Chain A
Amino acid sequence: MNILTMLWKNLWGGSRTMMFPARPKVTAGYRGMVRFDPALCTGCAICRFRCTARAIEFKAGKGEFTWSYDPGQCTFCGRCVEGCKAHAISQVSDCPPIYLTIGELKKSYTVARKPPAPKPTPVVQAAPASPATKSFPGGAQ
């Protein structure tokens, strides 16, 4: 009889289906959408290699690189975030996005490569005199 009571309540309680554009709350287990900070990115492309869903694309150019992210393909696994040493990628717990055409949500960032940090110049120090080489005053004997 419990099932009939439940059906009766459902019948008069309205539907639980959320109509678009309302979105459901995200669950605690959901890691969230990937956010990219171009200022911090070093262009190492480790995120692209770690992305098994192929949501991240990386194109290297002369003096710059293009980083693209397609949330429609992303599985929100967080492997790119784990791999980013420069902390340029993070995750925010927004709802998974809605899209009607493939690639609609894709975002590209073209970032200028930072000039490499100047290499530290090696400090030349005078070699200490060897005790074996002893000069003898007076010349040859």
Chain B
Amino acid sequence: MNLITALARFLIFPGLLFAIPAAWFFLWVERKAVALMQGRVGPPFMQPFFDFIKLLGKTTPPRTGIAGLLMRLWPLLAVSAAAGAVGLLPVLPSSGGFEGDLILLLALLELPSMCIIAAGFSSRSIFGEIGSAREAVLSVSYNVVFLLAIVSIAASQHTFRLEALAHLPASPLQILGVVAILFCLPAKLHLNPFSLPNAEQEIYSGPMTEYAGPELAMWELSHGLEWVAATGLVATLAAPHFTTWWLAALVFIAISFGVVLLLSIVASATARLQIDTTVRFYWQCTLIFAVLAISSALFMRFRS
């Protein structure tokens, strides 16, 4: 991948120019689907965009010193990381990529979560600090399953290149990995039943408590981009291989859309769990997934 291709992927497709409208669309789909399943009307189609524009027009409280600087920096870093993660996704066939881009994608996917933790502690708000602590504990819990799932798929194919993983034929380990990732996505995207870091009713959105105006708009945008990147990762691993670019893009978007709907159903059907229940759930998931992954790997080895 040369510099021009990398810039085009980061800025145009599937990067910022595509990903930002896609982020607003996914945020709208999630809100609308949850609203319809709860018997409400839900927001109009353009609402996430209007929210973003409205927040951009507001003023932020004056912040001084290093803490203020850091508070302004975290949302920008989160947006950049999430946009970079979307830019790495191999949406189109033969879209380039490089050896080890999966590791970079995982790092970029994790960076917004780290920024949220840091933002909550930088804000010096008690609600922000509680939210950040919860996010940290949650991150440690679900990331074990999340990383184990992706790394086991990659290790079984002896490659950390995303495009190579996108072209894999379906295997039990791959299906298992996708299911494990789907289990982790509600925690990664702060959805019910694992929405405890940004619990509105208990800790006033946790790390976001002290944020307003354009900074909050950036957080919303990074959240939307995380949606695109996380559902895109599932689509990358689950989508069958197509040589025609429009069919590949269509299937990619359809699978991402399906994942958004699935997560919305889970979010509207469940209530928020306590932190200890969440941690226990993910560590039990880890144990079960580890046993299944090893069994699947042994099965594949004996079969081949």
Contacts and interface: CB of A to CB of B under 8 A. Distances in A.
Interface string B14-57: 00000000000000000000011111111000000000000000
Interface string A3-43: 11001001101111101000000000000000000000000
B269 A13 contact: no
Contacts of A17: 39-41
Interface of B: 35-42, 265, 268-269
A54 B268 CA distance: 41
Nearest to B265: A7
Contacts of A14: 39
A7 B37 contact: yes
B269 A10 contact: no
A10 B41 contact: no
A138 to B, nearest CB: 107
B268 A7 contact: yes
Contacts of B42: 15
Chain B binding surface SS class: helix
A7 B262 CA distance: 13
Contacts of B268: 7
B269 A15 contact: no
12 contacts: A3-B269, A10-B36, A10-B37, A10-B38, A11-B37, A13-B39, A14-B39, A15-B36, A15-B42, A16-B39, A17-B39, A17-B40
B269 A7 contact: yes
Contacts of A10: 36-39
Contacts of B40: 15-17
Interface of A: 3-4, 7, 10-11, 13-17, 19
A3 B268 CA distance: 9
Contacts of A15: 35-36, 39-42
Of B35, B36, B42, the most chain A CB neighbours within 10 A belong to B36
A43 B42 CA distance: 49
Of A4, A11, A14, the most chain B CB neighbours within 10 A belong to A11
A13 to B, nearest CB: 7
Contacts of B269: 3-4, 7
Of A3, A7, A10, A11, the most chain B CB neighbours within 10 A belong to A7
A80 B39 CA distance: 39
Contacts of A19: 41
A109 to B, nearest CB: 40
A7 B269 CA distance: 7
Nearest to A4: B269
A10 B264 CA distance: 14
A93 B77 CA distance: 56
Contacts of A4: 265, 269
A22 to B, nearest CB: 13
The 10 A-B pairs of least Cβ separation, nearest first, read A7-B37, A10-B39, A16-B39, A15-B41, A17-B41, A3-B269, A10-B37, A11-B36, A11-B37, A15-B40
A7 B37 CA distance: 5
